[in-house]
A and B are shown apart, each in its own frame.
Chain A
Amino acid sequence: MAKERIQQRRDWRAESAAFFLNHRAVCLLTATLLAACAVLGFLRPPMAKIRAQISPRFVRESGSRYSEAKVNLLVIGIARGRNVKTGDTETYVGFAGKIFQADLNRELDLKAKAEKAEKERGETVRAPLTKTERREYQRQKLLENVADIVLWIPPLLDGSKITVSLTILSTLTGAFLSIFMALGKISKFKPLSKLCSAYIFVFRGSPLLMQLFFIYFGLPLINPNLNIQDRFTAAYIAFTLNSIAYMAEIIRAAIQSIDKGQFEASKALGLTYGQTMRLVVIPQSIRRLIPPVANEFIMVLKDASLVSIISLSDLAKVTQTISTTSGKVLVYIPSIAIYLIITALFTFIFNRLEKRFSIYQ
């Protein structure tokens, strides 16, 4: 036993060593980035100091209409005070030992906009920006964008919490329950098989949006006891029911792709149907299941945006809200980046799983 454990530890070591060797560039880059982050994080001015830059006069003048946002991203810290009525802001960015103001100068902004409008209309520009003004304008614009993006990150992450937890929970539950649905569908007991086929037909054949709508709004109308108070629970139920249907088909296809000889050998050795499935067929199907299940997972991740119809704020909904309230379309860039990071992470996990389950080949 002990020997086996040592062997396993050695395998693990060899495996990770091989991983570092094969991904040398990625590993070096990650290490460099981490080191840079540590240095920059150490150099960043404390949040209290950044916050203190917002002028007391601005706060006083804004009075009850004053609101404040602070974001601490380790390497970068931002504090923004806002007068909700006028829309004026005072924003300070702390980065690498310095604190910058990151607001567009209102006059400069108006001047730049006027210039742009005149150019578009083909008129002669009455008051062009000077060279220094233009450089200053570009610098401010950039800083403002950076500040915006950083300030959006916390609400976006809040939204992605819902997206990710809904996806993971519903696909995990769905994957587990769909095994039974698949076995039901290939069962020789006709009523059961028909019932499972009908379930799959209904939940795969109708839009998830409508299923979600029906479960949250429709069920209470049929019977008040079926009222699901919690929106997340309602979404979880709808997504699970839907992914059972999809994954049951994936599992059925994987089971039926297993060589007939495996069933025959099991039968000749006296294994029951249940044992054959549990010990022989399903373990072999898992490797074939992983790629389509990963696909399904990513589909669900994106379909999670449908929960906005029952007023749940997932990543897509938060993005949309920010974009409409602030009028800044730029928010779609960090939002898409977050989606891609989540997808990349899970693709990596699924790839590792697939390797793990194909050791015997």
Chain B
Amino acid sequence: MTTITPPNLHQHEIILDVKDLRVAYGKVEALHKVSLAIRRGEIVTVIGPNGAGKTTLLSALMGLLPAEGEIVYMGHAQGREREVESLVRHGMTLVPEKRELFAEMSVEDNLLLGAFDRYRSGHRDQMETMDEVFELFPRLEERRAQLAGTLSGGERQMLAMGRALMAKPKLLMLDEPSLGLAPLIIKEIFRIIGELKKTGVAILLVEQNARAALQIADYGYVLETGEISLAGPSQELAADPRVIEAYLGLGHKH
């Protein structure tokens, strides 16, 4: 898959830079001073137990939730009122935890709508992009005429990812792609995520499945009760006993 590189965007350039992000529901902060950075062509994972605020983080980045703090995307500081549509136009896409597919539409139409904004801004390369997506997910090509609502769990996740790729993203954010999937399918999904990396797209992978995520990621953050408690290259994190503690509450800290 080809991704056009803007002239000012070189390898290892920071695509997303977040500093001191705070999100509050009412009086309770769901995220407290979260900072992270993602470079071009890099997979960054945010792992953490249930309820740590991972989905909140992605929703805030995507402009679905209001947030305080500094978000610099592709060199542009984002204001408080970020609009989903304009972020999509600038190449940010989110594959949400609930997939949010168009259930009563065919696989093909779902994919086509992934390129809606590109179509609207004058691009007419949807068919080629779709072929590239089919190359990555041959299963989707087999099921191209089937309604999205009739797909299996794994196929749904593939369709959600394929639909996001139709927008030719610069930054792909995946919210728990392994959620509710059988181990074999998870393996397949993660293999594809690894392949996507080669195309140069930056990937922010939010996962509960820590081991799988750390295996393919370059860098990882551990999010615990709304705060980053650990960060580091993923191999280091994978070996850190504190990661297990965070998940199972073995260490009686505080």
Do A and B assemble together?
no
